[in-house]
Amino acid sequence: MKKVILVAGARPNFMKIAPLMHALKGNTHIKPVLVHTGQHYDITMSGQFFEELNIPAPDINLEVGSASHAVQTARIMEGFEQVCINEKPDFVLVVGDVNSTAACTMVAAKFDGIKTIHYEAGLRSGDRSMPEEINRLVTDAITNVFFTTSADADENLLKEGIAPERIFMVGNLMIDSLTANLKKAEDTSLNFKLLNKNAEVAANALSKYGVMTFHRPNNVDNELMLKKLVKIWAKVSEKIPLIFPVHPRTYKNIQNFGLQAEINSYKNLYFIEPLGYLQFINLVKNAAFALTDSGGIQEETTFMNIPCLTVRPNTERPVTIWEGSNKLLKISEIETEIDLIIQGKGKKGIVPKFWDGHTAERIVKILEKM
């Protein structure tokens, strides 16, 4: 029996690992070992996702916690090296583009007899100012086997000199999780307690609303930029309510920059705590649009055919633009684009190839043949 270590470190990883854990349950050819690096470590950012997605408790938790990119990466490498020594896996499969992805690949690649596998390989934004782009490039430079989500990722890898027989377009594990949990998500409550207000918002009582997610450093770490965004959110909320499950990083900067009182003054700008996976999917499913600088939501909205406005100069998921409902824009364009959506002219699209809920099955079949 072959042994594969599956690495999860941050929230987006869990939605990708869950379908694989379910597909490998009871498999007589492959034994999975789930390693949680602890990169996201609190119950809201991590533990709740394991419970909701029915992922078994990790076999190993490195508990590295929060730190700078360099320190966190070093801690993960130190802990994961010992895991590889003790477990002696045949394969190490990493997902996504977080620090855990690159760190565990760098460790495993130096062991004789361990093959490294990168799911979501080949995604490129072309923007090396993003830590995630560095992690993607480092990981793919030393990976043995590449699982991709779309044709553009295959093309990127081929341009970088990767042999085609090492590349497998398998589809999107995020969509596996989405399709498996959509019905359960629809049964969750859409009543949310507001941050810093003794009140609640009932999203299902609103005729229309938009969902926001913002956490990129260039949007929320810069005081002038964040203040500009707050002004735009306020103007938009006068036309359509906005619901924002606030990322801890963004919430911390809102406090540091003294913006909470201003935000509280806008009656249709609803700031709520980070949500579990099921509630968040239900919130997005019933939204008129998503306004974001995040990654995974570009894919989820594409599958659900909900307009997605991504406030970034680039995306590593261009298929969501070419085929899906996603659109890149500058902050100066936010109001105009939302006006179009309110008028029923928001962007629609199609579901990309293999985004069908069966990606994990395809991956397991490939692993069994390796």
Residues 6+ apart with CB under 8 A from 201: 191, 192, 194, 241, 243, 270, 272
Say which amino acid occupies 170.
Answer: V
Known active-site residue 215: yes
229: which 2 tokens? 């965004």
**Which candidate in 22, 29, 118, 215 is catalytic?**
215
The answer to whether 42 and 80 are in contact (CB under 8 A) is no
Reported residue count of the chain is 370
What distance in Å separates the CA atoms of residue 150 and residue 184, rounded to the nearest whole number? 27
Say which amino acid occupies 189.
Answer: S
Please, what is the end-to-end C-alpha distance for the chain in angstroms? Answer: 12
202: which 2 tokens? 């009932």
Q: Residue 309: is it exposed, middle or buried by C-beta count within 10 angstroms (0-12/13-18/19+)?
A: buried
Q: Which residues are catalytic?
A: 215
